[in-house]
Structure 1
Amino acid sequence: MDSATKTTSTSANPVRVRASELEGRGWLNTGGVELTLEKLRGKIVILDFWTFCCINCLHVLDELRPLETEFKDVLVTVGVHSPKFEHEADPVALASAVERYDIQHPVLDDPELVTWQAYAARAWPTLVVVDPEGYIVAHLSGEGHAAGLATLIPELIAEHEAKGTLHRGDGPYVAPEPVIRDLRFPGKVLPLTNGNFLVSDTGHHRLVETGPDLTTLVRTIGSGTKGFLDGTAEDAMFNEPHGLALLPEQLAASVGYDVVVADSVNHRLRGITLATGAVRTLAGNGIQRLLDAGPARVTDHGEAASETYLGTAPLEIALSSPWDVAYSSALETVVVAMAGTHQIFDFDPLSGAVTVIAGNGLEGLLDGPGAQAWFAQPSGVTEDAKGNIWVADSETSALRVLKFSDGGAVDVETALGEGLFDFGFRDGEAAQARLQHPLGVAVLPDGSVAVADTYNGAVRRYDPATKTVSTLARGLAEPSDVLLDETGEVPLLIVVESNKHQLIRLPLPKNALQVDEGAAQTQRPKTEVAPGELELTINFSAPTGQKLDDRWGDPTQLKVSSTPPELLLSGGGTSVGLHRTLVLAAGIPEGVLHLTARAAACDGPEDANGEIPDHAACHLYQQDWGIPVVLSAAGATELVLDLRGV
């Protein structure tokens, strides 16, 4: 493994590069107007390359909102939607996503990845900053760039005001007509002991208790205003709540609350007392956990300790987009699908302890001991009669299972699914079966597992005994959760049909469907590389006013692996530095390079000795890439990516 000592590289170039034109199928949030860069001349433009399945892209949407408000007269964000999954290329689904995530800027629909390729985007999310004269001034990958943009934008304002090339005034965003609904993009459903159901009314930022008919509104918990506030049912605030877990009665009496809520955008777990509707915070400090530190505690300096145990001061711990929760009778804790860090956490209501039980933070599909396994945006969890935890692993379109030994060890297995870029709609043997971005799971009476196969608009069934897959229902509008309902004479399925803003009951069919619409892969351009040595460089330059935090050694880190593993002969693993020499096997026709880059920089000013003061605010920059590659003798021998290139 060759790791260079150089810790920074910059893509700065004295030659100014003109931004490419914005091409796609159409525009949203413009009132029907087609935008061009010429029409945006005079504004600072941020192109946000995103896809609505991607949790990191959703994080960036929230990072950009304060900037859009502060600089609303000079800054225009343009979302360039470049889909990963087939379903995301559906214009109706995209319009629903733009409404769901309250996107208040123009969005270009780029289903053929035309603009994506013109700007050499390599990952979701990617940000490209274009100055008022139409030239590219920054190329940023991943999350955590808000502080740097908050410095860059005023610099561009000052420069272009002085040149007379900055035009202040309203931007091109046109708000759509509001629609009033009882539920708005509901996420998850939970049965209550009184026969009612609790629903996370995600788009309204509240919880709704319905009657047994799933439509009668009994009460709401939360004001319906997006935000964060503990308190009464009328005053409390949530921000896109999703998963719900009911505690056992005796445990609930001990801790003083009944339901645990995954409050996703607030990066917190919240507790609900059903008798009063009162809301409290159980875990999370509201700061998004950015590190892919694996099953580890993160120190103040961004270093990873080796423990899986994160501590018993739960309000001081950073979480990242908890998406679903389920009570585990085997562990006697609440299991959390931590979508933002690609891990499975748990929370002990009695002690307050928070622990990583599976996932090392790398994004992908890899089985094995919990500390070594990879997940990709886990979004649904449930427990079966044996105490196993089933996981809807959305970005790998996979169904995973956590199994616990008597000694407490955790093993992760994949029931169905192939990897980050493989999906489809195919029943039959699990080895060939395919899902498309599933979000929910439930265990059926016979021990099989129902899956809310969200982007296929279906409910699927996996039978562990026969290792086969079938279809229970299809033609649904982005089902985000599924629940077994045994309150009646015969078992039924309750499905949260998110994009129809409703919950429905479906019978369990005696003869499940057998569907084969084929397997597919994400249609991203593959990078042609030569076998043998490949020089990998990640460009990073700290924003103005920041300095690389080298107080504890090299503040950068690069992790490299591949699928299949045989593709990478050497250069894999984790080490400091943002340059690495890889050696690729000649006998492997194609594969995926998995790369994770991190850099830590802190705010100035420096002290008299040129050092960063201990009290300086520090920032972590991080991005995961999955680079599909094709090996060819005529391929490239160098791969250069931007973490933050200016």
Structure 2
Amino acid sequence: MLNASDLFPRQAPVNGPSRLFAWFQVLLVLLLPFLLASCRSVDRSGLQGPEPPPLIQAFAPGTPLITAGDTTSLLATFTGEGFVQGLGPIGSGLPLAVSPAVTTTYVLTVLAPDGRSETRQTTLQVVPPPVSPVILGGSETLVEQAPATFHVDPAAGLTYRWTLQGSGTLVAGADTPEVALRAGAPGTLVLGCAALNAAGRQTPWVFRAVTVIPLPTSLTLTAPATAFAGETGLGAWVPSQPGSTYAWEITGGQITAGAGTPALTFTAGDPGSLLLRCTLTDAFGQQTTASRTVQVLPAPLITAPAFVTAGLGASAQAAAATPGTPLAWTLINATLDSGNGSPTIAFTPVAPGSVVLMCTDGTVTYVRELTAVAPPSITSFQAVNDLVGTQAPAILQAAFADGSATVDPGGLAIRAGEALTTAPLQTGTTFTLTVTNAAGAQATRTCRVEAAAIERVAGFPNGAGTRNGSGQRAFFLRPGGLAVDAVGNLYVADPDAHAIRMIDLTRAVTTLAGDPLVPGSLDGPVAEARFVSPVALAWSRYHDALFVADPGGHVIRRIQEGTVRTWAGLAGSPGDTDGPFMQARLRNPTALVATDDGGLYFIDSTESGARIRWVSPTQEVTTYAGSGSGTSSDALNRLDAGFGSLGGMARDGAGNLYVTDTSTHTIRVIQTEGPVRTLAGGAGEAGWVDAGTGTEVRFNTPMGITFNPLDGTLTVADRGNNRVRKVDPGSGATTTLFGSGTAGYVNGPGVTAQVDGVQDLAYLPDRRLVFTDVNNNSLRSFFPNSGVQLFAGHGRPQAGWQDGDAGTATFSGPSGLAREGDGTLYVADTASNLIRRIGPDGQVQTLAGQANTAGTLDGPALGGALFGQPKGLLLGPGRLLISDPLNGTLRTLPLDVQNPQVGTLAGEATDKGTVDGPVALARFRAPEGFAQDAAGVVYIADAEAHVIRRLGTDGTVTTLAGAPDTPGYVDAPGLDARFKQPCGLALQGNTLYVTERGNRTLRAVDLTTTAVRTVAGNPIPPGAQDGVGARAVFVKPAGVAVTLRGDILVADEGASAIRKVTPEGIVTTPFGRLAQMGLEEGPVPGFLGQPRDLVLDPQTGDIFFSDGSAVMRIHFH
């Protein structure tokens, strides 16, 4: 319905006539419909002229059909004023924008100036937007040139367009819901589709990729046209295609190899047709099949092997058409050895390749082609190691050609140039390599691998060593000072091992710095640094570093961030001078205390006494306390106090120093203010007394001292009493924490525990006390609730001189060994001064000497005779010859007699020397090792005389090689040669092998010419090293023996190993590990301690050796 606002524009309000005119307009609008109706009702036919022209000439949308949401325009041509219902005024010829959501009819009303009006309507069609299509049908993969049809689900009112990218063609339906196409070359096709509605609106293109794969290739199967029945090694093949698989079928024969490969090996069946079929499946899953028929003929009339070996005889047989007819043979690449004219011949192929056999009976010729292959050959077959531990595998290597190989036992396949690992060996095993060619010819070679283990014969392994490990698996060599870092790692000074050891929070023991075989004062990275005899440690929180007192080098060293540096003193230059660290001189520095400001207190010695000295944070060395007089005395001024020999040192929070005075058996205090006083103990009075006041207390050689972080008391290692004591730092009141007072090794509650040589103490973060138990070669710990326990190390060695069976008998430092054929062992128990016997049943019996008593008396073997550290043994008919180096004599002990008497064969204890002559007049300096030749001549290593002596069968002693009392290292004939401490001897044929402690070499003496030469070793370089000749390095060679193979075994006491030396001087280490001391039973190479002497079992090859407090053997299983 029209209103005034539709017909007339709104105007601003006016006054007077203008307001009257406005009211007139309103009235006109209200009356207009009635006036129009009246006019239409009056018959004007006779009242007016012609019909006036229409007011509206045109009214329509600019686009008759649009998509919902699009915009178009209404266009009108008219005379007057026009209004569109619902939209408002419209100008003639001017577009009016509209955007309907649905189909809409619009009404135009026009008012003429003469009062006429006219209406007209028009309809604008609206369609919904098109929906994006989804391409359906077809396949993700097409074969090239293949047709395919794809479609979309059609929607009402929509049409579709298709596009194709790639090698392909749209065939039909490019503008319909379904399209047909044909694939082109292999690759990728991209098919696109878009939908359009009636208004022409198009959706975005949607695409679908299609992979075009190649056409399956034709397959060609190649195979022989004919074959003989039963013929083997026949081949068929198809071209190889990457990514394809192959399936073979055979009818009338048998597949022997290659069923899943392009190449097939098969055997023909009975005469007739043999069908081969191969199906190839390519990478896209397409299959192609090819087949081939082989005509199988009856077997040839010449019977011979398909393969023969060049150079080896073979035979062939022919069946003539007419039995008894002579046959003439012709051979190509083979020689006819015999049988020409007969059905059977012997022949020898000349060279690898084709061999043709032809024979004829005059009417029929038979032909047979064979293949000659090269004979198998073996270049080498050996084990990587010809000796392994029991339960360890052997690793075998072989070089061979012209055949396949197996190793027995086990039938194990082996390839040339590759290593074969066998099953673990229980016993020594001889392995056989067999190489077989296609003709069945074989070549063989063997190698043997021994399996051995280290076993205890009698006595017990020594607990001392340098081996790292975890907890009780580690070994220490008389451990000394201790220190604990901020996280709880424990550091141990191992002076005899020239090393600093570390025990982490898991109790894993490692070597932080130093080398047990190479003492020295070398600074540098911890792996290269060397120490002489580090005894004391201190951890500095200020430096975050470990300080080491090395009295052997007269220096204090610092280990920080993996580097060792000298902190004070000059290595190898003892002295008492204060000053900057480069100028200061130290003398045997021991105990250390680090302060929070970066300073360091240490105990130092003068030529007559001890002092406490101080290294400032700037490395200035000054004397803090002690006059150096050597007399122990208290004083008001600390520099006037006297100290004899000091052991340990501790510092309290106030700066007071507490020291253990081992020479006076007291605990003394150096107060911050200066006075020095005795806190506990009676000066010069050794003893054990617990008491409430310091003056009543008694100590015996107190050593380590530290503060208990729980109660602030002092903990003191009372070494001479084999106890650890608790001391009040104020009153000196002392009680015993643990230790029974008896030297030994017993864990358990405090009063029953036994220790032996407590050196230093330290508290761990868990408040557990750890201490070094020197003579037990271990670190032990103490908690009040659990008592004393082993913390790290192997514990006390079971040493002694107790007889009994192998499980209970003990030895103390055995060295020389001799063995009888029935298995009886004779042992020089050196430290016990006894001669012992180990029977075949393991029973240990003392034959001569008095336990732990040295002397030179002859007389009854038991209860009378005395020895001075007996070493070498030589078993002769009915007696033992014993070297007695401390007495400078050769002693004899009859065997298998009642009440044997020990006698002196040569030498005089009170008159040592190097005099040659009859045994009664001859003199020795310190005889050790023996050897005896087949004629009965005895050779003696006179170690401290530095010569090799000879005792002839006539009883005359002569000097064979070396100059008496003239040590040196010279290879030369006889007396011109020079030795240094020759100790071990072994004889092989006309060569006498000599080990030298002083020169660290293995020498050889030619008994015919007396010429001396060096087989292996070098007296100059330190350490231990395998190698050839002078490049090999021994540490402390001792016993020596020669194996049945002619190799020389050397007991390297200092290197913790038994070394093997070939006659050519090649040195290896088959038993033990260099510089890893710690004797233990187990598979070889294992771990040894300090092997001294060797003796072999000639039947089994077992090696018996003395080591630590035990007699051991390397048993070849």
Per the normalisation by structure 2, the TM-score is 0.21
Larger Rg: 2
Which structure has greater strand proportion?
Answer: 2
- Structure number with greater CO (CA < 8 Å, separation at least 6) is 1
Per the normalisation by structure 1, the TM-score is 0.35
